[in-house]
Amino acid sequence: MFKVTGRPEAFHKQLMLRSLAALTLSFVLVSCQSAPPPRPVPVAPPQQPVFSPPPASTPMAYHALPGWNSAQILPGLEAFKRSCARIETRPGNSLLSAKAAWAGSVSDWTAACAALDVVADEASARTVMETLFVPIGVSAPDGKSRFTGYFEPMYEARRSPVPPFTEPVPALPADLIPNGASPLQRLPNGQTRAYPARKDIVAGGVSAIAYAHPSDVFFLQIQGSGRLTFPDGSTTRAVYAAHNGQPFRSTANWLIETGRIRAGEASMQGIRAWMDRAGPAEARLAMNQNPRFVFFRAEPEGDPSLGPVGAQGVPLTPLGSMAVDTDIQPLGVPMFVETSAPGLGGAWSGLLVSQDTGGAIKGAVRGDLYFGTGMAAGDRAGTMNAPGRLWVLLPRAVAARLLASSRTASTGALGGVASAP
Predicted local confidence at residue 49, as pLDDT = 45
- Comparison of pLDDT for 7 and 319, the residue scoring more: 319
| Mean pLDDT (the chain, rounded) | 84
pLDDT per position as a tens digit, 265-274:
887 778 889 9
Domains for the chain: give ranges and CATH numbers: 14-30+170-300 (2.40.240.50), 62-149+312-419 (2.40.40.10)
C-alpha distance from residue 243 to each of 181, 294, 310 (Å): 8, 4, 16
pLDDT per position as a tens digit, 247-256:
989 899 999 9
The answer to whether the beta carbons of residues 5 and 296 sit under 8 Å apart is no
pLDDT per position as a tens digit, 44-102:
444 444 565 555 456 789 999 999 999 989 999 999 999 999 999 999 999 999 999 99
